[in-house]
Structure 1
């Protein structure tokens, strides 16, 4: 019964929707909020793929799932045994899977858009696990959950430039004294195929 109701609700959307695929990349600045006193952001990037699923007849509303490989983390200073401070790179790389709801602001082929949606990040790499555990009492969690929002400009619904901000909702170092979260601001480009 539940499957029948779900199929009844989803079928009209699937029947009139069209899916387009694309590639995307960003240059971004990332950090971990509220944890490091002398930290500096990591400037890096991400690459990935996307799909656009049309939700309406007028090509104004879309669901846009993505998957990307993202270089994140930050730099910080830690104290050595002789009380000196040295620069350390606390880098974490993620596979990120956001699902954005996107709205174009006009019916033209070239127009502005806005987007918002949740993102799951799967930690797949840490630069220095032992140093990170020594500094913060634990390594970062394997899963991150964040909310993202952005604006952008589309040229002929193919070449798109965007600015996004993702704010993490997960306490990354759960044994550290303060709650902290990931934070990423990104400038990106996407190309969508017919």
Structure 2
């Protein structure tokens, strides 16, 4: 089975590479807002609103201008806060656990038809490299980045690399101005140092995955 899957992947890659037309690549800029959460990490836990911005390239993989590979390089704000509606007024409600990344998604993008103005969908891997992490007003001392904890191995430092799968849908106006909603499903463990946190909560030992919803605009140059 493994040999069959590998052979199929190699055949697909060979066919795809034969269709890629780098000479027709178009470039653009993209920006938008983000809503992020991290599962099983901090208590209290709430969303962080931030944003992203960067550049993209649209590389055709067919002759009908319907299918593309779209790599992007973005500055991405993610993480979470302590703004759980049930914790208002409690310690940690005003906490901010900000993770900021250089993010490199590589999408396969498909327009639903060959029309100039059309809906599209995209999906692909996303590689996030931590640029900086800022923690303010944490509910527990060891949630801070550089805090020396009384519990060995327990710390709130975010992982320097995160991997996610990105999915999106959008609408393109004349293949130039586009609006897209995206969801990033985090597959990495963002806070390994919090898996040894003291307490009896069963969520402590679970993976701390980062999820990001975003809505943004892209402008693609002719």
Question: Where on the TM-score scale, by shorter chain, does this alignment land: which range?
Answer: 0.7 to 0.9
**Normalized against structure 2, the TM-score is what?**
0.75
| Counterparts of 1:16 and 1:92, CA distance in 2 | 34
Q: Say yes or no: does 1:132 pair with 2:160.
A: no
- 1:66 aligned to which of 66, 72, 75: 72
Quick one: distance in 2 between partners of 1:180 and 1:116?
23
Residues 31-46 of structure 1: matches in 2 within 5 Å? 31-46=37-52
Q: Does 1:158 align with 2:164?
A: no
Is 1:148 matched with 2:176? no
User: 2:143 touches 2:155 (CA, 8 Å); kept in 1?
Assistant: no
Answer yes or no: is the 8 Å Cα contact 2:95–2:135 preserved in 1. no
Q: Give the paired residue count.
A: 183
- SS of alignment partner, residue 40 of structure 1: coil
Write the distance in 1 (CA, Å) between the matches of 2:78 and 2:161: 14
Which position in structure 1 is the counterpart of 2:208? 180
Structure 2 distance, partners of 1:15, 1:92, is 36
| TM-score for the superposition, normalised by structure 1 | 0.85
- Contact preservation (8 Å) 1:17, 1:55: no
Structure 2 residue matching 1:12: 3-state secondary structure: helix
Could you list the runs of 4 or more consecutive aligned residues of structure 1 that deviate by over 6 angstroms after TM superposition?
8-11
Task: Give, in whole Å, the separation in 2 of the partners of 1:181 and 1:40.
Answer: 14
Distance in structure 1 (CA, Å) of the matches to 2:125 and 2:66 = 20
Q: Distance in 2 between the 1:16 and 1:85 partners?
A: 54
Distance 1:10 1:153 in 2: 25
* Residues 1:103 and 1:9: Cα distance change in structure 2 (over 3 Å): closer
Q: Determine the structure 2 residue equivalent to 1:4.
A: none
Asked if the contact 2:120/2:169 (under 8 Å) is kept, the reply is yes
Higher strand share: 1
Corresponding position of 2:8: none
* Structure 2 residues without counterparts, runs of 5 or longer: 1-13, 84-89, 137-141, 196-204
2-structure distance, mates of 1:106, 1:10: 19
- What root-mean-square deviation, in Å, do the aligned CA atoms of Structure 1 and Structure 2 show? 2.5
